[in-house]
Structure 1
Amino acid sequence: MSKYKGVIVGSALFILLSFVFGFHYVKSEIIKEKVASFKLLAISVTTESVKEDVWNEHLNVIGNIHANQSVDVKSQMSGQIKEVLFKSGQFVKKGDVLIKLDDALLKASYKSQLAKVELARTELKRNRKLLKNHSVSQNSVDKLAAQFNAESAKLEYISTQVEYMKVKAPFSGHVGIRKVDVGDFINSSTAIVDLEDSSQQYVDFSISELYLHSVQVGQDLQFKSDAANDAEYHATITAIEPSSDRNTHNIELRAVTTESVPLESGMYVDATLTTSDSNTVISVPSVAISYTLSGDTVFVLDTSTKQVSANSVSASSTSTSSYSQDSEKSETPFYEYKVVQRTVEIGPKQGGYVGVLSGLKEGDVVVTSNQHQLKNGGLVLVNNQRPLVTHTQPSK
């Protein structure tokens, strides 16, 4: 009996082992078959064809607004203020009297000097008559004439001082907030009020001397300010400083505004100067560029792998539900492509676009969305029914 039991146990063990190994073999074959037939769903993306453009170079600078004329009004004479004849913020005309100083002492000096002039004139007139009768010498008459001229000059000097006791506007414009009051004693260094003539405005800015060859009188300057809600204004370069600053090696430029600008003198603006230099670049939306430490890259469609997607709807739904809704409504088929990742050299930037200097050619189609889900050689489903909204293509 023991012999038959051994045979039975051995047979049972053989059958069990055969079943186990057979199960694992069939399982591995099924897995291999499934893996071989498995295909990753294509990633839904948007694309844009790139083209070659000629871009003018731009310089971004900080400028500040200047009025046509601006001055701190001051007196040429010292004295106590007797009258203030303007209001803060008022528009004044050239020659309007702004303040009057106490001129009582000068007027008294004027009267005294006037008497001396009259006396000198009388003496001169009398001696000229006597000269005709040879009662006085020519030398005496000449001395009296010189004395009369000297006294007259003193009178004119005092008269000018009296006139200077009235501080007048040197040009037409708006005054600011007055800094003096009646009774204040002022001198030639005392600021009375700020006077601005904003009939014409300028933008002053500076550039590195390295860019001197790129600028010239007549070029356009675009500028904007947060204070004006980033509205864009234009100015035309009218003057270039003939020398470079020896410390900063910058060159000062001035541009005159071509329109009324709601900005005050002294305010800063962000300005862009279009130079005379130009580059031939491949214009690419900035969102198509992937910036990495190892280099800047883009994903480009391999158009030779184009094929109609059999499951456009299901593929697009793995990316965004909005694409799935569009694909259900559209009768236009979606196409699948393989993508190639390329390293590119980045150049200038303008209006939401980047100029690529190398790595792309005109006619290449770049991916503009979902790049983080892609890999080199991966499949994409092109869905441009809801195209990427980018900035306006930059002007040449």
Structure 2
Amino acid sequence: MASKAIYSVVAVVGIAAASGAAWWYQRQPAKPVAQGTGAAAPAAAGAARLPAVEVARVELMTLADEAQAVGSLRSRQSVVLRPEVSGRVTQLNFRDGDRVRRGQLLVQLDDQLPLAQVQQAQAELSIAEANHKRNQELVAQNFISRRSVDESAANLQVAQAKLALARATAARLRITAPFDGIAGIRNTSVGDYLKDGTDIVNIEDIDAMYVDFRLPERLQGKLRKGQSALVDLDALPGQRFTAVVQAIDPLVDANGRSVGVRGCIDNRRLLLRPGMFARVTAVFGEREQARVIPEEAVVPQAGRQFVIKLVDGPDRDTKIAQRVPVKVGIRRPGRVEIVEGLEAGDVVVTAGQQRVQKDGMPVRVLDLGRSGAAAPQAGAAPDGGGPSPNGAAMGGAPSGAAAGATAAAALPERLAAPARAGGPNPCGATTAQAAERARGGNSAR
């Protein structure tokens, strides 16, 4: 019992001593600050208690209104040659991969019998012509009746028809190229007996290539003939091609709710091949001097978009927060366009919005202008043919006046590349002409 009492007394004395020491420490006067910092210390201590936020400035850059899709390349003209009648191959007048001309004889089937029929029909025609001429002379002298002349005329027409039929039968054994193109790999050889409809060889016209792709139905109002699209191919990394929109499918696919689009690519250098997988960036227009901020600065609330804008405060390190409603436009990875609500150079909060509890609240800036000068370069349109940093799909389309301005905007100069080979453009119009049409209002259908 005595030991327990001693422990209790020691505990009470220890608690009392600690409480007294704490009271004495709190009552001690503050130590004098170093010379020259006496007025700044209270201000610094007050600023340290303000909520800290990270900010960025509203920047100006060029944004292209575009959408991404995937598609496939196909020849401007493509055909698989097949015989209309059965026969044995006697001639193959081409080699695999050769360029062929329209009307060039490629495959000759055995035509001995049809040629004999042609000669027979020619002989019958000669007899019919002679008989008819003789009857015309005799009827003029009233030696025969008019009926005999009519019969000879009919016989002449029958002979002419027989000759035409024999020639047509013989012509079906001659397989010619229907257009200029490049022959594929043949599936037959001389001496083969082919049945009608057997595949012989494919002919591809690839001086111009079609790229077929589909876009969401919400973009159909922006699509116009003559617009340009940028095409990247996994098979040719680092190279970019320009396609001119030539056709828009009037039918919307009910399954995918998408619109089919066909563009034409000048392929006179023969770098592209049918069947290639293509990544297509359809360009509807370009907006210069677009106001852009980091996307994390936008705070959605009750179906509206807000940002927290900072204005100058009582001192250099303090800013006043103001919540501003904005209207967003084109979205890019990490960035969003502000159509209304902000001006170039405004400062907005990008991190720490939850610490700003009301408008007019002073805050402390941690890193002003953290985006630096590299941000405009990251979002600007490229000048050359390399991959576009804006190559991601559109996060959202501008609405209202922004959509109208986008549709009427000029196409970027990077699309106005000259033709890569001499002669007329196989797509029917140069890319520069397509860009010029877009600058004129982008309204041609």
- TM-score after normalising by structure 1: 0.68
Match of 1:162 among 170, 194, 203: 170
Query: What SS is found at the alignment partner of 1:355?
Result: strand
Greater alpha carbon shift after TM alignment, 155-164 vs 268-277: 268-277
* Contact residue 299 and residue 339 of structure 1 kept, 8 A: no
8 A contact 1:74–1:190 mirrored in 2: yes
For residue 235 of structure 1, what is the aligned residue in structure 2?
A: 243
Judging changes above 3 Å, is the alpha-carbon distance between structure 1 residues 373 and 138 closer, same or farther for their aligned structure 2 residues? closer
Aligned residues of 2:122 and 2:163 also touching (Cα < 8 A): yes
Q: How does 1:224-373 map to 2 (within 5 A)?
A: 224-241=232-249, 243-245=250-252, 247=254, 250-257=258-265, 262-275=271-284, 282-286=291-295, 303-304=312-313, 307=316, 347-350=329-332, 353-356=335-338, 362-366=344-348, 371=351
2:5 aligned partner: none
Identity of aligned pairs, percent? 25
What is the RMSD computed on CA atoms of the aligned residues? 4.7
Per-residue CA distance 1:222-276 (angstroms, 9 max, x = gap): 22222221533222333444x3347456544433336757322233322223336
Larger Rg: 1
Cα gap change, 1:177 to 1:189, in 2 (>3 Å): same
CA distance in structure 2 between the aligned counterparts of 1:86 and 1:287, rounded to whole angstroms:
63
Alignment partners' CA distance in 2, 1:286 and 1:191: 57
- Per the alignment, do residues 263 and 291 of structure 1 end up closer, same or farther by CA in structure 2, a change over 3 Å counting? farther
Shift in Å at residue 193 of structure 1? 1.5
Where does structure 2 lack aligned partners over 5 or more consecutive residues? 1-8, 32-41, 357-362, 383-408, 410-445
Distance 1:237 1:107 in 2: 49
C-alpha separation between the residues in 2 aligned to 1:295 and 1:27?
Answer: 53
**98 and 287 in structure 1: CA distance in 2 versus 1, 3 angstrom threshold:** farther
Structure 1 position 87, deviation (Å): 1.4
Shift of 1:99: 0.9
Indicate the residue corresponding to 1:97 in structure 2.
Answer: 105
Match of 1:59 among 54, 58, 67: 67
| Residues 339 and 114 (structure 1), Cα distance of their counterparts in 2 relative to 1, 3 Å cut | same
Q: TM-score, normalised by structure 2?
A: 0.62
Cα deviations across residues 263-298 of structure 1 (Å, max 9, x unaligned)?
222333222233369799641245767999x99997
Q: What is the aligned residue count?
A: 351
Q: Give me the whole-angstrom Cα distance separating, in 2, the residues matched to 1:14 and 1:271.
A: 82
Letter in 2 for 1:268: F
Would the aligned equivalents of 2:53 and 2:353 in 1 still touch at CA under 8 Å?
no
Paired amino acid for 1:143: E
State whether residues 92 and 175 of structure 1, in contact with CA within 8 Å, keep that contact through their aligned partners in structure 2.
Answer: yes
Q: Is the Cα contact below 8 Å between 1:344 and 1:357 reproduced in 2?
A: yes
1:218 pairs with one of 218, 221, 226: 226
1:61-109 CA-to-partner distances (Å, cap 9, x unmatched) read: 3343333322222333332222222111111122221111011221222
Contact 2:89 2:191 in 1 (8 A): yes
